[in-house]
Structure formats: C-alpha cells, structure tokens
Amino acid sequence: MIERPLKGEGFMLCQKCQKRVANIQFTQIINNNKHVLYLCENCAKEEGKLKIGPPFSINDFFSGIMGVPYLSSVSPHSQEVICNTCKMSYDDFKKTGKIGCADCYKTYGEKLMPLLKRLHGNVQYNGKIPEKIYSRVKASREIRKLKEQLNVCIKNEEYEKAAQIRDKIKEMEAEEI
C-alpha cells in the first residue's frame, strides 16, 4: 500500500530508505495493475531508475516530432557559421532552438528554411486577413500568380496558353472593379 502525505505535512518519505523526502514518483502498469513507487533522488539512482544526462536539446525535440534526426544531418566537420550581428552560431541555435536576431535568418537561413517549411508548411508568412476583404485579397493573389504564369508562357513562346491566361486575368480584373 502506498502512503500519502498526511494533511499539513506536504511531503512523503522515501518508500525505500524512509529517511529522505520522496521527490520522484515511478508509475508502472503491469497486467492492468498500477504500481506507484515514491523514492528520494539517492534511492532512485541506486535503483537505476534515475538517469541524469545532458539537457534535452532542440535536436531531440525535432527528431521526436518528425521521426528523423533532422538537425543532426549537418556535418559536424563543416565550418561553423556565426552571425556577424549577435555572434550566435548555428550550433547555438540547435542547442536552444532560438534565433539570436533577424540577421541570423540571413546568415544561416539556408539551413533553417527546410526546417521552417517542414514545421509550418511554408516559409513565407502571409498573415491573417479580415473576412470582409478576404475575397479581394484572394483574387489579387490569384491574379498575381496568373501574371507570373503568363510571363513564363511568353518566355517559352506558348502564345495560345498565354492568350488564355491573359483573358482569365482580364476577366478577374473586371470582376474586381
């Protein structure tokens, strides 16, 4: 039977040594039976249930989310890149998961872009759009994309396709007015 702290005491003694405060709880479920063990740090170390190692790194975090050792794919022998503004290295980012300043994106942005794309689905923030103007903004973006396609078609001398795109742009611009 597990003893709970008595009201007002606020702590429980270690179930092994009965001398120190139990600050670690181990819970095991065996054959649908829950077993809870309260130990002090020393007894937990002796039992081999407490492993104190290096702190949790951002690399471990991303590996867990994505299921692959993502950031560790950078060669350890590659020359370390350091931001000229804040003097933060890419290795510092890997350890903390935080960017030092806006110039860090320019300094080691090539390494960050695949990570940002994988986490957020995009590397460009488009912001939120109020519902009242959403349809106008959406149409404007569509027209911009069509104009880019039109330029590509003209470059590739695909004039029939370019004419269709041009007509679609004129139609959309007329609706916008």
Q: Which of 101, 120, 139 is the C-terminal boundary of a domain?
A: 120
User: Mean pLDDT over residues 58-68, rounded?
Assistant: 55
Say if residue 6's pLDDT is above 50: no
Q: Is residue 125 part of a domain?
A: no
Q: Is residue 140 part of a domain?
A: yes
Judge if 3 and 43 occupy the same domain.
Answer: yes
The pLDDT score that the predictor gives to residue 167 is 95
> What's the rounded Cα separation, in Å, for the pair 26 and 48?
12
Q: Which domain holds residue 152?
A: 131-176
Q: Which of 95, 120, 145 is the C-terminal boundary of a domain?
A: 120
Q: What is the pLDDT of residues 113-167, one digit of tens each?
A: 777 777 777 777 667 777 778 888 888 889 999 999 999 999 999 999 999 999 9
Cβ-proximal residues to 112 (8 Å cutoff; 6+ apart), any chain: 93, 99, 105
Say if residue 15's pLDDT is above 80: yes
Judge if 22 and 73 occupy the same domain.
Answer: no
Judge if 113 and 67 occupy the same domain.
Answer: yes
Q: What is the pLDDT of residues 28-56, one digit of tens each?
A: 777 878 888 888 888 888 877 665 555 55
Total H helices, total E strands in the chain: 6, 2
The pLDDT score that the predictor gives to residue 146 is 94
Structural domain total, the chain: 3
The pLDDT score that the predictor gives to residue 105 is 80
Judge if 64 and 46 occupy the same domain.
Answer: no
Judge if 44 and 62 occupy the same domain.
Answer: no
DSSP annotation of 92 reads H
Judge if 33 and 71 occupy the same domain.
Answer: no
- The tokens for 169 are 């742009």
Vertex 29 angle, CA 22 and 41, to 5°: 20
Q: What is the pLDDT of residues 65-116, one digit of tens each?
A: 554 444 444 444 445 778 888 888 888 877 777 888 888 888 887 887 777 7
